[in-house]
Amino acid sequence: MKSIAIIGASGYTGAQITSLINADSHFSVQGLYVSENSLDKGRKLADLYPTYSHMAYTLSPLSDEAKKQIVAEADAVILATEHSVSLELAAWFYQQGLAVFDLSGAYRFADVAQYPKWYGFEHTHPEVLAEAVYGLAEWNREKIKQTRMIAVAGCYPTASLLALKPLKPFLTSMYPVINAVSGVTGAGRKAQLHTNFCEVSLTPYGVLGHRHQPEIATHLGQEVIFTPHLGNFKRGILATITVQLKPGTTEADVEKAYSVYDSEPIVTVKHNMFPKVDDVVHTPNCHIGWKYDANSGYLVVASAIDNLMKGAASQGLQCMKIHFGV
Ligand SMILES: NC(=O)C1=CN([C@@H]2O[C@H](COP(=O)(O)OP(=O)(O)OC[C@H]3O[C@@H](n4cnc5c(N)ncnc54)[C@H](OP(=O)(O)O)[C@@H]3O)[C@@H](O)[C@H]2O)C=CC1
Ligand SMILES: CC(=O)N[C@@H](CCC(=O)OP(=O)(O)O)C(=O)O
């Protein structure tokens, strides 16, 4: 059984992955951690999230002492922390010999030049970044097995890339256009005005400037137009993507391309039927639906996931299982 420390465990993705690890016989929880000055240190996770009343874990401050204990006792750490926090913690734990599963974006680009532009910091650990593998589980299994530094894919990129990657041989120079809507948990648990109940109303944001645009483009190998929207629901992402395919591409070609998921239990693909967010929330699943007009060459594909599950926690667990071979 592998022992796992969860850092940022009081947040939405941290609490979610704690519940998944708690329920998995291959893993045990070494400890749950928050920042040293956290208002939640010493509190029980179940006091923050009564839905987890079956778990007795307490949130500990991530002191230097706690870090040493993690190194002595754990096989891996999950970082459910913001990008700049993960940047430093991932490098430190990696250098101590632990496997690191980072839910943030701090290690998702191989190119250090991307970080100042999209994350507002210089990447201070290029040597660890060089070891990092993108944790899009269905597409990167072999590499996830081979490295101890896994940058779990982002939420919108997971929904978008699972829909688009099978189509790569048929894409033209025209950019796929991705319109995606996320539930409010995508913005994390901390209080912010724009995620207040009274403020939330369906609207685009980050237009032509969201950090997930280059993440999708990098891991697809093709530029895209990406427009995220904030929806007035708690969990889930629906990405609806319009793309023009190469002249001569047939419906059978598309069918065959998506058959890559026939052996993947988590990804379900339907032709002429479209997914609903409610069918995937609280599950690790991705539901994809597509329709193609061979005359115009236009294909519309929609992809639904739970942002906290396949978009973060359950994909993190999937990567852990691949890495540890369980
Ligand atoms: N929400 C989502 O749908 C998704 C989120 N992600 C990524 O996952 C990460 C976590 O996101 P989310 O769960 O939403 O964030 P939250 O804001 O909900 O939680 C952040 C957690 O980090 C803790 N924390 C903050 N600073 C430190 C520190 N210095 N040391 C240890 N713990 C710290 C917080 O506790 P405290 O401040 O009390 O210490 C809290 O437990 C982010 O990088 C995010 O981008 C990825 C995919 C989807
Ligand atoms: C609704 C909302 O605000 N969503 C977040 C994306 C979720 C997230 O935390 O992004 P990562 O997957 O890159 O970690 C945003 O747009 O920044």
**Which of 155, 198, 286, 319 is labelled catalytic?**
155
Kindly give the distance from the C-alpha atom of residue 13 to the centroid of ligand 1, in angstroms, as a whole number.
7
H/E element, 214: helix 212-220
Kindly give the distance from the C-alpha atom of residue 20 to the centroid of ligand 2, in angstroms, as a whole number.
21
- For residue 83, which ligand has an atom nearest its CA? 1
Check if the beta carbon of residue 133 is closer than 8 Å to that of residue 144.
yes
Provide the pLDDT confidence category of residue 191 given band limits of 50, 70 and 90: confident
| Other C-beta atoms lying within 10 Å of the C-beta of residue 69 | 15
Same domain, 79 and 174: no
What does the alpha-carbon distance between residue 68 and residue 26 come to, in Å, rounded to a whole number?
23
The DSSP code for 79 is E
What does the alpha-carbon distance between residue 20 and residue 9 come to, in Å, rounded to a whole number?
12
The ipTM (two decimal places) reads 0.98
Atom of ligand 2 nearest to the CA of 228: 16
Check if the beta carbon of residue 202 is closer than 8 Å to that of residue 180.
no
Same domain, 144 and 217: no
Kindly tell me the number of DSSP H helices and DSSP E strands found in the chain.
Answer: 11, 14
- Span 41-60, pLDDT tens digits: 999 999 999 999 999 999 99
CA dihedral 131, 319, 233, 85 (to 10 degrees): -40
- For residue 235, which ligand has an atom nearest its CA? 1
Domain count, the chain: 2
Kindly give the distance from the C-alpha atom of residue 93 to the centroid of ligand 2, in angstroms, as a whole number.
24
Residues belonging to the chain: 326
Same domain, 292 and 175: yes
Same domain, 11 and 133: yes
DSSP SS3 for 233: coil
Same domain, 76 and 195: no
The mean pLDDT of the chain is 98
Q: Whose CA is nearest to atom 1 of ligand 1?
A: 186
Kindly give the distance from the C-alpha atom of residue 284 to the centroid of ligand 2, in angstroms, as a whole number.
18
Same domain, 139 and 270: no
What does the alpha-carbon distance between residue 304 and residue 187 come to, in Å, rounded to a whole number?
18
Beta-carbon contacts of residue 135 (< 8 Å; ≥ 6 apart): 101, 144, 150, 151, 152, 153, 315, 316, 319
Q: Give me the residues paired with residue 60 across strands.
A: 33
Which of 18, 20, 38 most suits a substitution to test ligand 1, by most atoms within 8 Å of the C-beta?
38
Q: Which two tokens stand for residue 25?
A: 């016989």
DSSP SS3 for 294: coil
- Span 91-123, pLDDT tens digits: 999 999 999 999 999 999 999 999 999 999 999
pLDDT confidence of residue 145: 98
Does pLDDT of 187 surpass 90?
yes
Q: What is the mean pLDDT of residues 180-194?
A: 95
Which of 81, 119, 215 most suits a substitution to test ligand 1, by most atoms within 8 Å of the C-beta?
81
Same domain, 173 and 294: yes
- Span 296-310, pLDDT tens digits: 999 999 999 999 999
Question: Phi/psi at 269 (nearest 5 deg)?
Answer: -120, 130
What does the alpha-carbon distance between residue 180 and residue 160 come to, in Å, rounded to a whole number?
9
| Other C-beta atoms lying within 10 Å of the C-beta of residue 306 | 27
CATH number at residue 8: 3.40.50.720
Q: Is 155 a catalytic residue?
A: yes
Same domain, 63 and 186: no
| Other C-beta atoms lying within 10 Å of the C-beta of residue 122 | 11
Same domain, 178 and 89: no
Q: Which two tokens stand for residue 324?
A: 């540890």
- 149 lies in which domain range? 2-153+312-324
Pocket-forming residues, ligand 2, beta carbon under 6 Å: 104-105, 154-155, 182, 186-187, 206, 228, 230
Check if the beta carbon of residue 315 is closer than 8 Å to that of residue 155.
no
- For residue 9, which ligand has an atom nearest its CA? 1
Same domain, 7 and 109: yes
Q: Is 234 exposed, middle or buried (0-12, 13-18, 19+ CB in 10 A)?
A: middle
CATH number at residue 225: 3.30.360.10
Kindly give the distance from the C-alpha atom of residue 79 to the centroid of ligand 1, in angstroms, as a whole number.
8
- Span 276-300, pLDDT tens digits: 999 999 999 999 999 999 999 999 9
What does the alpha-carbon distance between residue 238 and residue 235 come to, in Å, rounded to a whole number?
10
Distance from the first to the final alpha carbon of the chain: 10
Q: Whose CA is nearest to atom 11 of ligand 2?
A: 154
Atom of ligand 1 nearest to the CA of 13: 13
- For residue 37, which ligand has an atom nearest its CA? 1
Q: Is 113 exposed, middle or buried (0-12, 13-18, 19+ CB in 10 A)?
A: exposed
CA dihedral 147, 160, 111, 245 (to 10 degrees): 120
Same domain, 19 and 144: yes
Residue with tokens 């081979």: 146
Q: Give me the residues paired with residue 44 across strands.
A: 58
Atom of ligand 2 nearest to the CA of 311: 12
pLDDT confidence of residue 293: 98
Same domain, 78 and 183: no
